[in-house]
Structure 1
């Protein structure tokens, strides 16, 4: 079993549930080291005093906040620990909200919550099932690794999931960051065709259908270079659609999407039909074999029965002596 990266209590009302926090996701990036080009010399980073040029050990490094004018306020690690809230290892649920009301932009990273001991598993299950039934999420705050997090606690099948969240002031205003953005499109025909395209391309969400192609290509590149081979990928860069060609592009896209959907539907139907035929043929084969076996059994039994009914041959009578 995985090791908990945080442990504490979920508190809601007067109920406390002991839980452990576990990573729910893992990335599959390929690690690279840095080298000086043309050599096999590794590049290393050192913590160096910029005035003396000497390396400084980690335990002698403290943090400083820039307050302007080249002045810094130095803060010791112990001072940060003393003011950290939630030292009681508490996930205090402040309120419950409808899960659908939360903008996904607020979500940061997912974790699993599991009961810390079997004695309190029923309390864990009770909270999980109640959240699932009401489609609500508990909003809480907690401290982990020297940082306070805002979090939601929600039910996902048999497990409670904690999502760390961005605070409201951590989300940037798009108007301030991006400047002028387009207003609503007034083109009714184009909008209608764009809606048709979205509908034609709509389907069920199947996470397993999506693979990290780039990482696979990086693995192939590394493997090929290790074997002395060369890998070349040639893909054209996409180009922006000319506004004058937008209607034609939308119309062609809708037709192509409908063809693709029809093709997928036919393939699915063919697979189902093939599966049904195979099942029917298998059942018929079993039935035929059973019929042959039964017929043979009856024939043998009948043969034995006929032999039993066959009258015995009469012996010739002996003549009496004169």
Structure 2
């Protein structure tokens, strides 16, 4: 059962619904400790007074900011006192069409659940009403000392709360791309070919079809090192497409798309076992494959397949 990280209520109109807030996602990133190189000694961090060098207990630390020639400190209790709604309400101020919210504003997702059985009716009333109208409730609330702009929306059998970035937290993309030269605009032919590639690669969104392969590789790396095995480097990323070769790269991609194949760079040979690589090399007629190390075999197969595609 997920741990409740916040307790409060949703307010819309004169209706108040007590709810609990739960994290909707979990992080599977592999966590490492730090050790001094060549030893099994853990590295630890301490909170120390930069003037005396003495370690300071957590309860003796307060927040503060420089102000003029001095420092103003603030207790957590003082921050809680000024929090809107005393940090315990999600006040919906307006309802908007969910599709109108630019995805760049979405930050993190949480689930909202009623605190008790007697609150299920008003909870489900709000969820069903937003589900039928396609509307999301815009609200603010305070979590862990920070005020968030949020969108409360219907999601399957629960209410979801998405924290949103405020407008002044969104960077202007024009600052990144600036004024673009006239020659940077694609030609009609290039645009038509790129559209054909996208259409050939289109499919339904199936999140279960994707997995964190990097974490899996880190686990495999640790297991291989524990056995004293050799670490195999992954395939290098493809080189950027030269502007001069753009049309040719598009043409080849369209050709492969029409043959029912996705562009070849999407295949990662490092995910194949040594036996699978041997079989692929045998089919391609690669000589001397039995004496090759895995990395050499991987490179030979990649080069042979690339040559085969060019010939076709």
**Both structures adopt the same fold (TM-score exceeding 0.5):** yes
TM-score, normalised by the number of residues in structure 2: 0.78
5+ residue gaps in structure 2?
263-312
Residue 53 (structure 1) aligned with residue 53 (structure 2): yes
- Cα deviations by residue, 1:129-154 (Å, 9 ceiling, x for unpaired): 11111111000111112221111111
Which residue number corresponds to residue 210 of structure 1?
A: 210
**Rg larger in structure:** 1
How far apart are the structure 2 equivalents of 1:79 and 1:87? 11
Which residue number corresponds to residue 73 of structure 1?
A: 72
Which residue number corresponds to residue 21 of structure 2?
A: 21
Residue 201 (structure 1) aligned with residue 197 (structure 2): no
Which residue number corresponds to residue 138 of structure 1?
A: 137
Preserved contact between residue 7 and residue 21 of structure 2 (Cα < 8 Å): yes
Preserved contact between residue 87 and residue 142 of structure 2 (Cα < 8 Å): no
What does residue range 95-134 of structure 1 map to in structure 2 within 5 Å? 95-134=94-133
Preserved contact between residue 201 and residue 261 of structure 1 (Cα < 8 Å): no
Which residue number corresponds to residue 85 of structure 2?
A: 86
- Cα deviations by residue, 1:88-142 (Å, 9 ceiling, x for unpaired): 6111100000000001111111111111111121111111111111111000111
How far apart are the structure 1 equivalents of 2:140 and 2:94? 11
Query: For 2:78, what is the secondary structure of its paired residue?
Result: helix
How far apart are the structure 1 equivalents of 2:38 and 2:51? 31
Which residue number corresponds to residue 12 of structure 2?
A: 12
How far apart are the structure 2 equivalents of 1:116 and 1:261? 51
How far apart are the structure 1 equivalents of 2:121 and 2:244? 63
Preserved contact between residue 19 and residue 113 of structure 2 (Cα < 8 Å): yes
Which residue number corresponds to residue 231 of structure 2?
A: 231
Once the two structures are TM-superposed, the CA of residue 74 in structure 1 deviates from its matched residue by 2.3
Once the two structures are TM-superposed, the CA of residue 198 in structure 1 deviates from its matched residue by 1.2
5+ residue gaps in structure 1?
263-322
Query: For 1:150, what is the secondary structure of its paired residue?
Result: strand
Once the two structures are TM-superposed, the CA of residue 66 in structure 1 deviates from its matched residue by 3.6
- Cα deviations by residue, 1:38-78 (Å, 9 ceiling, x for unpaired): 2212111111111111111111111122447x754322223
How far apart are the structure 2 equivalents of 1:230 and 1:67? 56
Which residue number corresponds to residue 297 of structure 1?
A: none
The 3 A distance-change label for structure 1 pair 75 and 202 is: same
Residue 162 (structure 1) aligned with residue 161 (structure 2): yes
How far apart are the structure 2 equivalents of 1:225 and 1:148? 45
- Cα deviations by residue, 1:260-311 (Å, 9 ceiling, x for unpaired): 369xxxxxxxxxxxxxxxxxxxxxxxxxxxxxxxxxxxxxxxxxxxxxxxxx
Which residue number corresponds to residue 258 of structure 1?
A: 258
Query: For 2:17, what is the secondary structure of its paired residue?
Result: strand
- Cα deviations by residue, 1:200-227 (Å, 9 ceiling, x for unpaired): 1111111011111100000011111112
Which residue number corresponds to residue 189 of structure 2?
A: 189
Query: For 1:260, what is the secondary structure of its paired residue?
Result: coil
Which residue number corresponds to residue 180 of structure 1?
A: 178
The 3 A distance-change label for structure 1 pair 193 and 72 is: farther
Once the two structures are TM-superposed, the CA of residue 186 in structure 1 deviates from its matched residue by 4.5
Preserved contact between residue 107 and residue 165 of structure 1 (Cα < 8 Å): yes
Query: For 1:80, what is the secondary structure of its paired residue?
Result: helix
Preserved contact between residue 19 and residue 113 of structure 1 (Cα < 8 Å): yes
Preserved contact between residue 80 and residue 86 of structure 2 (Cα < 8 Å): no
Consecutive aligned runs of 4 or more in structure 1 exceeding 6 Å deviation: none
TM-score, normalised by the number of residues in structure 1: 0.76
Further displaced range: 131-140 or 235-244: 235-244
Which residue number corresponds to residue 287 of structure 2?
A: none
Preserved contact between residue 185 and residue 191 of structure 1 (Cα < 8 Å): no
